[in-house]
Amino acid sequence: MSSSSRKKLLLMGRSGSGKSSMRSIIFSNYSAFDTRRLGATIDVEHSHLRFLGNMTLNLWDCGGQDVFMDNYFTTQKDHIFKMVQVLIHVFDVESKSINKDIDIFVKSLTNLQKFSPDAKIFVLLHKMDLVQIDKREELFVIMMDKLQKISNPFQFKLVGFPTSIWDESLYKAWSSIVCSLIPNMNLFNSNLLRFNEVLDAEEIILFEKTTFLVISSTASIQRQSTQPPNGLAAANGSVESLDPKRFEKISNIIKTYKQSITKLRTSFNNLVIRGSNGTSFYVDVLTDNLFIMIVLKDRVAEPNYVNAREDLVILENIKAARRWFEKIENAK
Amino acid sequence: MDNQEATNATILLMGLRRGGKSSICKVVFHNMQPLDTLYLESTSKPTSEQFSSLIDLSVMELPGQLNYFEPTYDSERLFSSVGALVYVIDSQDEYLNALTNLSMIIEYAYKVNPKIHIEVLIHKIDGLSEDYRIDAQRDIMQRTGDELLDLGLEGVQVSFYLTSIFDHSIYEAFSRIVQKLIPELPSLENMLDNLVVHSSIDKVFLFDVNSKIYVATDSSPVDIQTYEVCAEFIDITIDLDDLYVDNERKTAKDNGVKSISYLSNGSVLYLKQMIRGLALVALIRNDDAPEEQQDMDEVLTIIDYNVNCFKQALAKMWEAAKLAPPSLE
């Protein structure tokens, strides 16, 4: 039982493509500037990260220089590619020798098929900030098409993301990767929806505590469940009009806040903001491993609105919900 | 009368070329990333920034390579119309030239306008080691003092600041400089002191939201860390708020952003928007009883009330200041 909650993630790619930078930003609270100080990774660097309490991520950051690479595919191959849950392959979009990059990708797919055929494959096209804005989309589609074709013979389904350490795209990618590993996502989602029925919020988002990656949100659940064929989501029109990158931005903002609070040698419990047009925000600890963010729209205009210290009511509601979410977490 | 008000609130930014004057302007008033200032062009003509906060301030930047003592240049009018002269010295470079230039400028400016505030930024200290900074400051202060003594200007008050655009020291320095130009500062500080005494607040700042300069604070000493946290707290609040603002509804009503954050050591960060792009940020410490949150709620209610009183007072003060522009003593 406990072994199944240990997840092995391989982080691979050619040298200099930004693998260790990603890891440091997401899991070690580095800022994008700090990553310049990182040197080359020698061989494989292991990190064990506790995620959501009882899930352990074993991240194998594989140094990408050719000497090490050759080693992975020959002498160490059964050691490296056994029992892999996730392969994250990083491509540098500025790379001069794409053929060699792809060659290595194919090699790792071959090995994966042999040693752990159930692995999920994620492809990150990294350093996207170096490409002109109007060309990014096109480049991404072309690359993904090509890579999917290559991996077809191995029966792997690729999931790709354009990423850069200088914006929120990195958080988006990692949040999808990590969410794919959470076994009881459905329980989280259904409970989140029920909590929303109580609160009638504009939006509720769940974050993991240490990394602030987005676990789940009401908007994304609704998108999954309705998925209207004509592309019209009439029920939640107001949420649809919001910034689609807001989750990543929030992750980023709150992480900055967490960092800045450490200067006072403490951490934060909650944050309540009453916005300029009446929207309220509540960020609070939900469980030992989760943070919750609730966005409520302005209700003063509604007929049966009672302004009886709403802040306290919401915080009290969060406390009540805490019990349920703790149960889900410990259910595994 | 109009003319006098304008004189009071102009800051003149001077220094030798490549001292970092434009970078300071861009970082403080335009929220530019410090690293991007590497690519700034050399400034060729005087530029000025309008900066509207509690007072209307303008910052004028002069190109370093100009000689102000050419007869064509109307330097007399220039110096007589400014409230503060900020001279930027590059501490990573050889600064003897800069010091000669500085004393020349001080001599001239002081003759034209004896009420001028003279501020010296010992800039780019991020590249110096900790102990060397103090040495550099002592050396520069010593030499400037000697130069002024030689010129027979013992009475001139010169303030020195160690600054860098890569941390918050430049904001701190500018805050102090701007504060000297606000005629209402003593009463503002008094009001903030009052607020602190009656609300169990540990430290309170009145910030300009756009530039993160604080125009006033209570009289307890400023701890740079608290300042940084408070300044970043503004950013976080504004950024989160912006994500959920629809553009049509934006102007409908603006009752002011307010945010409260409980920290795990029992302290509370409190922010409330005031008039004219100002925000009040307070750190409320509650060391003795971190569990008693009920207590904290009561404290916060009192603070809410007091802060509202403060806001009204501020609005009144602003009205009064507009009616009767304060004269230069």
User: Tell me, what's the pLDDT at A226?
Assistant: 52
User: Tell me, what's the pLDDT at B14?
Assistant: 80
Tell me the residue range of the domain where A103 lies. 5-180
Section A160-185 average pLDDT:
84
Identify which of B196, B17, B190 has the alpha carbon closest to the alpha carbon of residue B89. B17
State the pLDDT confidence band at B208, using cuts at 50, 70 and 90. Answer: confident
Contact B257 A276 (CB under 8 A): yes
A115 and A202 share one domain: no
User: Tell me, what's the pLDDT at A236?
Assistant: 44
A200 and A276 share one domain: yes
Selected residue with higher pLDDT from B45 and B327: B45
State the pLDDT confidence band at A144, using cuts at 50, 70 and 90. Answer: confident
Structurally, how many domains does chain A consist of?
Answer: 2
Q: Which of A180, A215, A244 is the last residue of a domain?
A: A180
Length of chain B: 329
State the pLDDT confidence band at B69, using cuts at 50, 70 and 90. Answer: low
Q: What are the angstrom distances between the C-alpha of B267 and each of A288, B288, B299, B309?
A: 21, 10, 12, 23
A176 and A220 share one domain: no
A207 and A73 share one domain: no
B259 vs A contacts (CB less than 8 Å): 271-274, 281
pLDDT digits (tens, 9 = 90+) for A293-307: 888 876 665 555 555
User: Tell me, what's the pLDDT at B8?
Assistant: 53
A77 and A210 share one domain: no
Section B256-273 average pLDDT:
83
B254 vs A contacts (CB less than 8 Å): 276-277
Comparing A249-263, B44-58, B86-100, B167-181, which segment has the lowest mean pLDDT? B44-58
d(CA B138, CA B141): 5
Arithmetic mean of pLDDT over chain A: 79
Section A166-170 average pLDDT:
82
DSSP string, A56-106: EEEEEEE--SHHHHHHHHTTTHHHHHTT-SEEEEEEETT-S-HHHHHHHHH
Residue A271 has its nearest CB partner, among B229, B246, B261, at: B261
Give the number of A-B residue pairs with CB atoms closer than 8 Å: 104
Contact A277 B229 (CB under 8 A): no
A32 and A169 share one domain: yes
Contact B263 A266 (CB under 8 A): yes
Q: Say which CATH number the domain at A77 has.
A: 3.40.50.300
A209 and A294 share one domain: yes
A175 and A226 share one domain: no
Section A133-139 average pLDDT:
86
How distant is the Cα of A94 from the closest Cα of chain B, in angstroms? 22
Cβ neighbourhood burial of A119 (10 Å; 0-12, 13-18, 19+): buried
User: Tell me, what's the pLDDT at B327?
Assistant: 45
d(CA A293, CA B91): 46
* Domain B184-321 belongs in CATH node 3.40.50.1820: no
**Is the ipTM here above 0.85?**
no
A250 and A318 share one domain: yes
State the pLDDT confidence band at B4, using cuts at 50, 70 and 90. Answer: very low
| pTM recorded for the entire structure | 0.75
pLDDT digits (tens, 9 = 90+) for A317-328: 787 788 777 777
A31 and A57 share one domain: yes
Class level of CATH domain B10-181? alpha beta
Contact B243 A246 (CB under 8 A): yes
Q: Which of A132, A164, A180 is the last residue of a domain?
A: A180
Indicate which of A35, A274, A299, A319 best probes the interface with B, i.e. most B CBs within 10 Å of its own CB.
A274
Q: Which of A132, A148, A180 is the last residue of a domain?
A: A180
Kindly state the percentage of chain A with pLDDT values over 90.
0
Q: Is the pLDDT score of A283 beyond 80?
A: yes
Q: Is the pLDDT score of B287 beyond 70?
A: no
User: Tell me, what's the pLDDT at A153?
Assistant: 79
Q: Which residues of A touch B (CB under 8 A)?
A: 33, 202, 241-243, 246, 249-250, 253-254, 256-257, 260-261, 263-279, 281, 295, 312
Q: Say which CATH number the domain at A282 has.
A: 3.30.450.190
Identify which of B106, B218, B208 has the alpha carbon closest to the alpha carbon of residue B154. B106
Identify which of A181, A163, A153 has the alpha carbon closest to the alpha carbon of residue A87. A181
A223 and A326 share one domain: yes
A189 and A167 share one domain: no
Section B253-280 average pLDDT:
79
Selected residue with higher pLDDT from B250 and A318: A318
Taking only Cα atoms into account, the Rg of chain B, rounded to an integer number of angstroms, comes to 21
Contact B254 A277 (CB under 8 A): yes
Kindly state the percentage of chain B with pLDDT values over 70.
74
d(CA B98, CA B102): 6
